[in-house]
Amino acid sequence: MQSIYVCAATSLLIGLSSISQVSAIPEHVKRLKDRNECRGCNLRNENLSGFNLTNADLKEADLENADLKGANLQNANFKGAKGLTPEQVKVASNWKNALYDDGFRKRLGLPTGK
């Protein structure tokens, strides 16, 4: 019986650690707000709607399921960003003027080489 409790507790801990990995890290969100820079940050599932991300450095950031609705992406750098989709980007403003990898630019229907 005791081993059942140990298994259940272990499963719970594994589940909780998985949850923390799929949410943005609060320190990363604060860093983005304070410095307008967050290279390689975990911003998964974060509500960034309405944020002014003009000139933000988000190279290699994990933006899976981040809400960018209405965010200003003017000259924001998303090169190497992970989890970013055209659908996320196209609900933001000035998304055509942000910096992306050529492959992602192509997915957005933008010319490559910028």
CATH number at residue 104: 2.160.20.80
Give dist(CA 79, CA 57) in Å, integer: 9
Domain count, the chain: 1
Query: What pLDDT score was predicted for residue 22?
Result: 74
pLDDT band at 4 (very low <50, low <70, confident <90, very high): low
Least confident segment among 9-13, 16-20, 81-85, 95-99:
16-20
Question: Is position 28 within any domain?
Answer: yes
Residue 10 pLDDT > 70, yes or no? no
The answer to whether the beta carbons of residues 57 and 39 sit under 8 Å apart is yes
Question: Is position 49 within any domain?
Answer: yes
Domain that holds residue 66: 24-108
